[in-house]
Structure formats: structure tokens, C-alpha cells
Structure 1
Amino acid sequence: MTDEKLKLAGKVALVFGAGQTPGESVGNGRATAVLFAREGARVVAADRDLAAAQATVEQIVKEGGHAIAVAADVTSEADIVRAVDTCVRQYGGRIDVLHNNVGVSLSAGDAPVTETDADSFELITNINLRGMVLACKHVLPIMRTQQSGAIVCISSVAAITNYPNIAYRTSKAGVNALVNNVAATNAEFGIRVNSILPGLMNTPMAVENRVGRGGATREEVIAARDVKVPLGGKMGTAWDVAKAALFLASDDAAFITGVELPVDGGQSLMRG
């Protein structure tokens, strides 16, 4: 494919959460960063785990793409500012795409509301929602100056379905509200803001954190999740999320802003 046919040719993309937790599958952030690069973007892969971000960059570079890694914990506004500044310095003062992917649930102690504790709730909210707010805060002035830009935030179908754990569900509902607000207040600057609501996905964060709980094996965890998916009885993969993110970040979605796009095999049809 020639450069001019690449969907993100000449674009600069900042991807928060571009590394991943260890596991047998690929995570949403890594898949998205790799796909963005395959489609011509120069990628800044930001992650709390610099080694994980660097592994993503190594994959991109091995495929002939352009990327750099930066350490960034989204609970730290200073880290977010540093990642944004690095992106601007490295790639000519532009940020064309901001991809907010960071999120946690069980690994940070999420639980039903009667069993939650204040520290876990605060941590999950800070990671899942506050981090995205601050990333938007510091990228939007650059995009406003450009009079263009695309922001994609990873929410979750858990925000609109019967998900038992309180911090993840409420923080992801907050992401949807964030997207609605930022889309409405920045359309005049040519900036599009959308969210993706993944359903049950076969990613390390979703699967590995459940292996061993109640004695469940990896195969049992996967089978129990697969059976809940209406479309084909099988979870999606990170590449399904990445392809949706590519669409929303590209000019193919030039007249789309403020949407909540489920990527869930029909799971959101079972709202509760």
C-alpha cells in the first residue's frame, strides 16, 4: 500500500496505555499503537511500564514504522504533560490523534458497592477517568491551534450493561460523559471526540486477572466469557478494538463526533 493510501499517513498519534500486562494475547493499547503505525502514523507509545511501551515500539520499528516510547503514569499530571511535550518536540509540534486506553478494575481492587473500599474506588477512578480528563486538558490546546484532531477514549460496555463492580462501571460511565462534553465544546475547532465501548475481549487485562480466582483455569475463564457473547459465542480481540479506533481516528470518520461505539459482539443488546 502506498503512503498516500494509508489511513493515518503523516499523522502523529499519542497513545496512552500502549504497553500491556503480561499474557498470552495482545492488549488493546499495543494493538492500536501497532495498527496506527501500520497505517502511517508516527506513534508516541506512553505507558506506566516503560519496558512494555518499548516492546510495543520494537514491534512497530521491526515492521518499518516510526515510534518512540515514553514512561507515563496517568495518575500523575506531570507525567501526562511530559508525554505530551515529548510528542510535540519529537514530531514537529503536532498531535493529530490522542488515544486514551488506560483502565483497570479487578487488579486495583474493584468490587460491588457494598464491598468496595474508598482507596480502591479512588485509585480506579483516577486511572480510568481522571487520567483521560487530564490527557484531554493538555492535548486540546495543541489541537485547537491546529484546528483539527481526533480523540478516541476507551470506555466499556460495562458502563451500560449489568456489570457488578462499582468503580469500573461508574468511571467508564464518566468517560462517556467526558467524551460527550469534550466533543460538544470542541467541534468548532475541528476536533472530533469519540469513545469505544469494548465488550468481552480476550486481552491480558481481562483474562489474566481472572485466572486462579476460585480455582479457575485460563481455559475455564475464556470459556465462561465466550458463552456470554451473542455474536458467534466467542470474545473479541484487541485487533477488533484497534480497527474501530483506526476508523474513528481517520478521515473515514470525518463527520462523526460524540459517539459511543460498542465493539462487543452484541453484548450491549442485553442491557441491564
Structure 2
Amino acid sequence: MTGAGSVGTGWGNGRATAVLFAREGATVLAVDVDEEALAETAALAKDGHGRTGRSGRGRVLPHLCDVTDPDAVAALAERCSRELGGPDVLVNNVGGSRAGGPAELDEEGWRSQLDYNLTSVYLTCRHTVPLMCERGGGAIVNTSSTSGLRWTGSPQIGYASAKAAVIQFSRVAAVQHAADGIRVNTVVPGQLHTPMVEARLAGQRAGGDTAALLARREARIPLGFTGDGRDTANAALFLASDEARFVTGTEIVVDGGMTARCD
């Protein structure tokens, strides 16, 4: 899975997903550009138990990779095939936002947002889908964002456009490769309390006031509390599992009801 590290301490979407999959018994080829973050993810995977009470059956194998680099992604797929026999599941979790609407976001920023949030998904799928076809099927879970569904409080047109495209990318791939036994679905997280809040978003949107940003975000959520990366991980686990054998080309929105509101 990609984006398996974290920008800080806590349950980011990628870290939580990698740890949960490993605790449930999977061998996770955990991909990130941050070696220290990957080491922390691997250590966390060794502690505690999965939902079924199992511990130690799975493992995390760290792999440094920039998933916007085609050659690096090809090498990643080759390692997966060589060491693990090929992929059963691909989870794409790389992403990040950059502020600015169409008049503020420059061309370099626009291209980098598309590369980071969308091209990364294309590249991993490009190299993984043929391997899954050879193995007789698999499951792909792509991570989008509620910013790809509606306005979520700030102009970030590159991010919103890319995340909306991830959803449609997944639908098209799901229909095309259904006959190959490959299911493709999308998790759509809302405004969660992940380490990204403290590391980046509070400074960008609330003058560094983390509490104020969290309060503003929580006020949008009908359930009245803010989830975290573990909620995203649970949705990804279901979509990757045999329990979701009849689920493809669709999305699970993990946002406490935020996008269902009219205001």
C-alpha cells in the first residue's frame, strides 16, 4: 500500500490502514518516501491485535518509493512480484492538498497536485493490474476525499479536481476489469483528525490554532465528533476483504454525515 507512513505521530489514513491489515494477517508492502515514518508504522504493526484477536501473523515490509516516478513504481511492482508472488490487494493512499482556486494556483501547483493525487494512482494501477490479471483477480482500494464531492471549506481546486477524478478512475477501472476478477472501489474520507491537522492544516487555515480548526471542522459533522485514520482503515479493510466480493465500482464515504448536509 502507498502512503503508509505519516507526517507526524498518530493515526494517519495510510499508517492506520497498513497496521490494521498487518494485524489482520496480511503481508503489507508498505510504501512511503519517509524512512523513519515507515519504521514507526512497522513497529506499530507488531503491537496489539486485530479485530479477530490475532497478533503477529502479518508483517510490514517497508519500501521507499516516490509513486509519482514511473521507474520507481515499476521497481516496486517488480519487488512485489519477486518477493511476494504478486499483489492480492493494492491500496492507494498518497495525497495532499495545496490551497488556491483557479486564479491563485499557478500552473506548477496545478500539475503537482494532479501528479501527487491522481497520477500516482494511475502509475500504481498501471503496473499492478497486469499482475492481478495473471493471478486471477484482486482488489484495489483508492483513497479520495470529500473535497472531490463538494466544497469543504477552503479553495483547493487542484486537490478537489484530482480527488474527484480518482473516484471516476476507480469506476471505469472497476467495469473494465470486472471480468478479470479485479474489484476497484474508493474510500472517501471526510475531515478527520489525522496528524496532517497539526503538521500542516492548522497553520494554513487557522493561523496555527489547532483547537479552532478542529472545532470548526467538527461543527460540520452531524455525528458530532471527528473520526481519524482508523475509520478510513476499517472501510478499506472491508473493501479489500472477501466480505466485499460483490462490491465494485463504488465508494464508501467516511465523514460522519458531513456531505449529506445541505448547509
For the pair 1:227 / 2:223, whether they are aligned, the reply is no
Which residue of structure 1 lines up, in the alignment, with residue 52 of structure 2? none
Question: Does residue 258 in structure 1 map to residue 246 in structure 2?
Answer: no
Corresponding residue number in structure 2 for 1:184: 175
Structure 1 position 62, deviation (Å): 4.5
> What's 2:70 paired with?
77
* Larger displacement relative to structure 2 (213-222 or 31-40): 213-222
Number of the residue aligned with 1:130 = 119
For residue 61 of structure 1, report the CA deviation from its aligned partner: 3.4
Query: How do residues 160-175 of structure 1 correspond to structure 2 at under 5 angstroms?
Result: 160-163=149-152, 164-175=155-166
Q: How many residues align?
A: 252
In structure 2, the residue matched to 1:98 is 90
How does the TM-score come out when normalised to structure 1? 0.88
Partner of 1:151: 140
RMSD: 1.5
Determine the C-alpha separation between the residues in 2 that align with 1:82 and 1:53: 18
Aligned equivalent of 1:37: 22
Question: In structure 2, do the counterparts of structure 1 residues 271 and 19 end up closer, same or farther at CA, with 3 Å as the change threshold?
Answer: farther
2:8 aligned to which of 10, 17, 22? 22
Q: Check whether the contact 1:34–1:56 (CA below 8 A) recurs between aligned residues.
A: yes
Change (3 A) 1:206 1:194: farther
Identical aligned pairs, as a percentage?
40
Aligned to 2:227: 236
Q: What is aligned with 1:10?
A: none
The Cα offsets for residues 160-207 of structure 1, whole Å up to 9 and x where unpaired, read as 111421001000011011101110110000100000111110011244
Q: Any idea what the Cα deviations from partners look like across 1:11-37, whole Å, max 9, x if unmatched? A: xxxx100001014x3100000000001
Structure 2 gaps of 5+ residues are 49-55
CA distance in 2, matches of 1:229, 1:18: 26
Partners of 2:16 and 2:121 in 1: how far apart? 19
- Structure 1 stretches lacking a partner, 5+ long: 1-14
